[in-house]
Each structure stands twice: as C-alpha cells, then as structure tokens.
Amino acid sequence: MKRITIISPCYNEANNVRICHEAIKALFDGPLQGYEREHIFADNASTDQTVAVLREIAATDPGTRIIVNARNVGVLRSTFNALKASTGDATLVMMAVDLQDPPELIAEFVKHWENGHKVVQGVRIKREEGVVMRTTRWAYYRAVKSMANIDVPNDVGEFQLIDRQVLDALRGYDDHDPYIRGLIAHTGFKPYGVPYVWRARKRGLSKNRFLMLIDIGMNGLLSFTKVPIRLLSIVGLVLAGVSFIYAIVNLLIVLFSHEGSIQPGIATLIVAIFFFSGVQLLFLGLLGEYIAAIHQQVRFGGRVIEAERINFAPTPAKDA
C-alpha cells in the first residue's frame, strides 16, 4: 500500500486543526481508501490550546503525527522541517488547516501523480479575498516569474503534491529561509497544474500579518534572481553618466558664456541632495537584504529546534 503524507503547519489554530484532521481522514476513508495516510501537523509554538487538541487527536489516531517547535520559526521553515520527516511515497507540501485550499482536490492530485507526474500543483485561478490583496498577489507572482532565473509558475503556492524523488532532492537544500515553491521549481521536475478557487477563511484570523507577508515576499524576490543587484549597477552607471554630461555642459557654459556659470537655485540643490540620498539609501537597503540573508544562513543554517515529536517511530540509538 502506497503512503501519502500530508503536511499541515499551524499556529494558534485550536478551532481549525480538528476540522482539518477530519477532512483529511474522510478523504482517505473515501476516494483515497487504497492509500495509507500520514498526516504531520507542524505546530509553531502555539500559545493557545492547539497542541492540546492535537494530542487528543494523536492519542486515538496513529496516522496523525505532531512536531512541536520550541519557538515560532515562521510557516515556511516549519513546513520545510516537517517535509524532512515525511515518509510518504508522495507528499502534499502544505495543507493549510483553515482549508482555504480545498482538501478534496488532493484525490485529483494523487490521480495525476499515479499517471507519472512528479509534481502536481494547485493553480489559484481565483481568490476569495479583497481586490487590493488579490491585485498585489497577482502582480507579485508575475514579478517573481519575470526576474527569476528558474521557471516559477504564476499563482502557485505550497499546495502541491510531490513525489518521493522530488522530496529527496529538497532534502539536499540547506536553506535558512526556504522559499519552498521556488525550491520545488529549482529541482527542475516539470509540474502539472490543477486550477482551483482559493477559498475565504471561515474560522479564526489569518496569521499572515502584513510584515510577515513582506518578509516572505522579499525572500521570494531575492532567492532566485540577481536582477535587483544588477539593477543597482545599471542605475549607478546611468547616474554617473548623467553627472558627467552635466559637468561637460557646465564647463562649456563657463567657457563660452559671457554671463559665466549658471548658479543653481537652492531649491534645485535641495531636491538633488534628497533625490540622490534616497537612491543611495534604497540601494543600501537592498544590499542589506542580501547581506542579512547570507548572515542568517552562515550563522544559523536552516535548523529548526523541536520541543517534541508525537506518534513518530523512535529514532534508533547511535553506538557509543
């Protein structure tokens, strides 16, 4: 019997984890009845009753496994750590416990996987959210795709089913801030896309706050492209060229004008100073993002500290 692993990251989702578990279990009792289920909940150091609810579930369901992080490390790092614990022949990278991604679509994913596709991904053709966020996400995905040095599909998140071969390839990455959808694309396996509607959240509040979304977005933009850093060089070269031309023009005015050099106004001078200062600070900030990513990777790597594992097979003791 083939095993399908489902990864569900969670943080303060006491109202959703049981519903998510029941939805996945019903799926394996129905359309996926011929497969063994492994459902891994990766708890990101929840401060509510999420872990207590998960303990109750795991006590009566051996197919449910739990990883409890010692601290909140972010949804993508927590998910990537859980992926390394997967034992399935195929693994669903992220099944959000709020069920905004439809779990019933997993059966179709498995069908395409059985037909030979190593990566089956959900493509969000419509989002049940506000027009501002919907437009921002649409623009962001296309910006990443246009700048990336790999083919990152548009409107695709971590709602993907990957073969064991792809999972083994992902385990070879040691990334402090893994942009998982980008890493899957980086493996080079051709994906099969399944369109679906991303649902509105029905229970609880989303944990993806504005600053967190910015952090994830910057990580996606910088992980697989050199375009921003090269843009700095191009803009710097253009500004240097404009300055040189201005110097030549001013020199010619001094040499051939009877009125002497044209003195710039105070307002012009202030605008120029603030403009070029702003450009420099912007570029320094962008350079800082790259340097900070390198700093984090060198000092800490991609390690996640786990406080506890539940329902996992015991790790064999190493010889002394």
Query: How far is residue 269 from each of residues 46, 57, 71, 262, 273, measured CA to CA in Å?
Result: 54, 68, 51, 13, 6
pLDDT of residue 50: 96
What pLDDT shows up at residue 216? 65
When computed from its CA atoms, the radius of gyration of the chain, rounded to whole angstroms, is: 25
Domain membership of residue 192 (yes or no) is yes
In terms of phi and psi (left: phi > 0; alpha: psi -120 to 50; beta: otherwise), the region of 249 is alpha
In a domain, 317, yes or no: no
Number of structural domains, the chain? 2
237 lies in the same domain as 157: no
Average pLDDT over the chain, rounded to an integer: 82
Residues 203 and 237 in one domain: no
Beta bridge partners of 160: 121
For 112-129, write each residue's pLDDT tens digit. 999 999 999 999 998 887
Mean pLDDT of 55-63: 95
Tell me, what's the pLDDT at 145?
Answer: 75
Predicted pLDDT at 313: 81
Structure tokens at 110: 């498995």
Domain of 32, CATH number, reads 3.90.550.10
User: Pick from 64, 155, 162: which is nearest to 109 by CA?
Assistant: 162
245 and 233 fall within a common domain: yes
pLDDT above 70 covers what percent of the chain? 72
The confidence score (pLDDT) of residue 314 equals: 74
**pLDDT-derived band at 233, boundaries 50, 70, 90:** low
Residue 55: is its pLDDT beyond 70?
yes
Question: Do 91 and 129 belong together in one domain?
Answer: yes
pLDDT of residue 271: 58
Looking at 70-84, 104-118, 141-155, 306-320, which range is the least confident one? 306-320
Q: Of 216-220, 286-290, 298-302, where does the model show the most confidence?
A: 286-290
Answer with the residue of higher pLDDT: 213 or 90: 90
Would you call 283 exposed, middle or buried from its count of C-beta atoms within 10 A (0-12, 13-18, 19+)?
middle
Q: Does residue 77 fall inside a structural domain?
A: yes
Task: Say whether both 197 and 60 belong to one domain.
Answer: yes
- Residue 82: per-residue pLDDT: 95
Q: What is the pLDDT of residue 214?
A: 67
Q: Let me know if residue 217 belongs to a domain.
A: no
Residues 108 and 135 in one domain: yes
For residues 66 and 159, state if they share a domain: yes
**What are the pLDDT digits (tens) for 136-158?**
888 877 877 777 777 888 889 89
Residue 38 DSSP SS3: strand
Do 164 and 27 fall within a single domain?
Answer: yes
Q: Is residue 175 part of a domain?
A: yes
Residue recorded with tokens 């989002």:
127
Per-residue pLDDT tens for 2-51? 999 999 999 999 999 999 999 999 999 999 999 999 999 999 999 999 99
pLDDT at 282 over 90: no
Supply the range of the domain harboring residue 128: 3-210+302-310
Residue type, position 137, single letter = R
> Would you say residue 180 lies in a domain?
yes
Residue 259 and residue 154 share a domain:
no
Q: Is residue 176 part of a domain?
A: yes
CA angle 242, 244, 246 (to 5 degrees): 70
Do both 114 and 235 map to the same domain?
no
State whether 105 and 154 are in the same domain.
yes
Whether the Cβ atoms of residue 153 and residue 191 lie closer than 8 Å to each other: yes
- Per-residue confidence (pLDDT) for residue 19, from 0 to 100: 95
User: Whole-model pTM?
Assistant: 0.76
Tell me the pLDDT tens digit for each residue of 179-223: 898 899 989 999 999 999 988 877 666 655 555 656 666 666 666
CA dist., res. 203 & res. 210, Å (int) = 19
Q: Which of these, 19, 25, 15, 17, lies nearest to 68 by C-alpha position?
A: 17
| 315 found inside a domain | no
My answer on whether 177 and 48 are in the same domain is yes
Look up residue 305 and give its two tokens: 């500290």
User: In Å, what is the CA distance from 244 to each residue of 234, 241, 268, 269, 285?
Assistant: 15, 5, 18, 17, 26
Residues ≥6 apart with Cβ < 8 Å to 206: 98
d(CA 180, CA 199) in angstroms, rounded, equals 21
